[in-house]
Amino acid sequence: MSSRTVIRGGLVVTATDELTADVLIEDGRVVALAAHGSAYAEGWTADTVIDATGHYVIPGGVDAHTHMELPFGGTFASDTFETGTRAAAWGGTTTIVDFAVQSVGRSLREGLDAWHAKASGRCAIDYAFHMILSDVNESSLKEMDLLVSEGVTSFKLFMAYPGVFYSDDGQILRAMQRSAGNGGLIMMHAENGIAIDVLVEQALAAGRTDPRHHGEVRKVLLEAEATHRAVQLARVAGAPLYVVHVSAREALAELAAARDQGLPVFGETCPQYLFLSTDNLAEPDFEGAKYVCSTPLRPRDHQEALWRGLRTDDLQVVSTDHCPFCFQGQKELGRGDFSKIPNGLPGVENRMDLLHQAVLDGHITRRRWIEIACAAPARMFGLYPKKGTIAPGADADIVIYDPNARHTLSVATQHMNVDYSAYEGRSVTGQVVTVLSRGETVIDRRRFTGRAGHGRFVPRETCQHLT
Ligand code: URP
Ligand code: ZN
Ligand code: ZN
Ligand code: ZN
């Protein structure tokens, strides 16, 4: 039985075009777009007609950086694949790329299988995986080829967190050389973790234990230095590089300098670095713990550089690094010792709205909003044009978006499984109305109509197109 849906009368916005058009969907895919009111579009018959008059019709968001159920600091990120993907759908995101984790001493295979087991049958939207390499050795290097062949085509390495996820420069170089040969992409957490650990120890010994010291020891210079080193190692290996969660102006300058030389170096930032700052980390009564993540929040004057980078394409992607920990019982593990606060912020539900607000505030254009939140992450990670755009042949992952609906971000109304909002009380204009995932309605006029298990694993193409 084939099913047909038509979305009528909305302003279709993609990364490249804006036009008032009708969209015809058949069996979960977009089959045609045509000018609203044209004889061609008027002739379409459908089982379901969605009236999008006065609304935008945009591709579903692609969040290329989430951590559902991540084990970290003796606890687990509080969103499961079920709660986290439902919240993503509420926020207009229809694909996540989550990070499977290789544990030290274990194989990539074991790590990936464990992530498949967590996600399978539970997701409300489609999902894919990157792999975190915590133990780069002869056998894990070989396994990288196997993962690429299974559609897990990107690998995160950490220059931070010695003793946990950390890789040294030799391990990083080997992994980059491997990815240069197999079409994989190395994603880098660029902070000098060895130096940071010295500063952590000194801060704690001096009694500087509050959350704000998390930001003070994780210095801008140590993000910039690691970013520079990652770029040089990638050059030596002849590999493309994607730097995750760029937060500092000086780190961005390293990426911009590399890109000016024509190197295949890419960068992502996250809403928390664009909208929050060290002021939040300094909130009294341990409230600052809600804003502990790494890379850390920076002084407010870094934000303008990040917005500029997003406009000039020195930064290509905004993803969330969604990694929620409840204030009660989880963030509290670090009372009296900021280094024990689990790192990460909730945000998978808020990204599309915050970036739409940035359109209204004049930081980016409407099409750039779709580029950095949908098209670029899909392209970067081998999901395009199946995901990230509205075009014939693409999956019908589509959001009907009301650009005029004003609402307030709050723990009281959010769907993420966490006991606070990092954006509590912030008013934004623009809200998701209806969401389709492969043509199925998962949010219908602000009611959740999806189901756990609708979402499918999406194997990704290699990242060879980046070089
Ligand atoms: O603080 C963060 N970002 N937590 C998640 C792990 C990571 O480094 O991305
Ligand atoms: Zn990281
Ligand atoms: Zn992360
Ligand atoms: Zn409306």
Distance 243 CA to ligand 2 centre (A): 9
* Structural domain contains residue 432: no
Q: What is the dihedral of CA 291, 294, 295, 301, to 10 degrees?
A: 10
* Cα 406 to Cα 466: distance, rounded to the nearest angstrom: 38
Q: List the CATH number of the domain containing 245.
A: 3.20.20.140
% the chain with pLDDT above 90:
99
Contacts made by residues 38-46, CB under 8 angstroms, sequence distance 24+: 41/6, 41/8, 44/4, 44/6, 45/4, 46/4, 46/5, 46/6
What pLDDT does 2 receive? Answer: 80
Q: Which of 191, 190, 182, 159 is nearest to 240 (CA)?
A: 182
Name the residue of 294, 298, 345 to mutate for ligand 1: max ligand atoms within 8 A of Cβ.
294
* Structural domain contains residue 379: yes
Residue with tokens 């980059």: 176
Residue 227 is part of which domain span?
Answer: 60-385
Q: Is the pLDDT of residue 38 over 90?
A: yes
* Structural domain contains residue 93: yes
* Cα 422 to Cα 117: distance, rounded to the nearest angstrom: 30
For 406-461, how does the pLDDT look when each residue is reduced to its tens digit (9 = 90+)? Answer: 999 999 999 999 999 999 999 999 999 999 999 999 999 999 999 999 999 999 99
Ligand with the closest atom to the CA of 404: 4
Distance 324 CA to ligand 1 centre (A): 10
- In the predicted model, what is the mean pLDDT of the chain? 98
User: Looking at ligand 1, which residue's alpha carbon is closest to its atom 9?
Assistant: 321
Q: Is the pLDDT of residue 341 over 90?
A: yes
* Structural domain contains residue 421: no
* Cα 467 to Cα 463: distance, rounded to the nearest angstrom: 8
* Cα 166 to Cα 132: distance, rounded to the nearest angstrom: 10
Ligand with the closest atom to the CA of 99: 3
Greatest CA separation for the chain: 75
Q: Grade residue 464 by pLDDT with cuts at 50, 70 and 90.
A: confident
Name the residue of 343, 345, 348, 418 to mutate for ligand 1: max ligand atoms within 8 A of Cβ.
343
* Structural domain contains residue 271: yes
For 388-410, how does the pLDDT look when each residue is reduced to its tens digit (9 = 90+)? Answer: 999 999 999 999 999 999 999 99
For ligand 1, what atom is nearest to the CA of residue 344? 1
For 169-221, how does the pLDDT look when each residue is reduced to its tens digit (9 = 90+)? Answer: 999 999 999 999 999 999 999 999 999 999 999 999 999 999 999 999 999 99
State how far Cα 62 lies from the chain centre.
7
* Structural domain contains residue 431: no
Name the residue of 66, 78, 79, 293 to mutate for ligand 1: max ligand atoms within 8 A of Cβ.
293
Distance 457 CA to ligand 2 centre (A): 23
Q: At what angle do helices 249-260 and 303-312 cross, to 10 degrees?
A: 20
* Structural domain contains residue 131: yes
DSSP state string for 199-222: HHHHHHHTT--STHHHHHHS-HHH
Distances (CA, A) of 283 to 277, 290, 328, 344: 11, 9, 16, 17
Distance 323 CA to ligand 3 centre (A): 7
Number of domains in the chain: 1
For ligand 1, what atom is nearest to the CA of residue 294? 1
* Cα 383 to Cα 182: distance, rounded to the nearest angstrom: 17
* Structural domain contains residue 103: yes
Q: Grade residue 467 by pLDDT with cuts at 50, 70 and 90.
A: confident
Q: Is the pLDDT of residue 466 over 80?
A: yes
% the chain with pLDDT above 70:
100
User: Looking at ligand 1, which residue's alpha carbon is closest to its atom 2?
Assistant: 344
Distance 268 CA to ligand 3 centre (A): 11
What pLDDT does 167 receive? Answer: 98
Q: Which amino acid is at 297?
A: L
Residue with tokens 């303008």: 304
For ligand 1, what atom is nearest to the CA of residue 158? 8
Is residue 95 a contact partner of residue 52, using CB atoms and an 8 Å limit? no
Kindly list the protein residues whose Cβ atom lies closer than 6 A to any atom of ligand 1.
67, 189, 245, 293-294, 321, 323, 343-344
- As given in the structure block, the two tokens for residue 216 are 């003070």
Name the residue of 321, 338, 348 to mutate for ligand 1: max ligand atoms within 8 A of Cβ.
321
pTM of the model: 0.98
Distance 402 CA to ligand 4 centre (A): 5
For 66-121, how does the pLDDT look when each residue is reduced to its tens digit (9 = 90+)? Answer: 999 999 989 999 999 999 999 999 999 999 999 999 999 999 999 999 999 999 99
Residue with tokens 């890379």: 295
What pLDDT does 1 receive? Answer: 61
Helix H, strand E, coil C: the string for 420-432 is CCCCCCCEEEEEE
User: Looking at ligand 1, which residue's alpha carbon is closest to its atom 8?
Assistant: 294
Q: At what angle do helices 169-182 and 138-149 cross, to 10 degrees?
A: 30
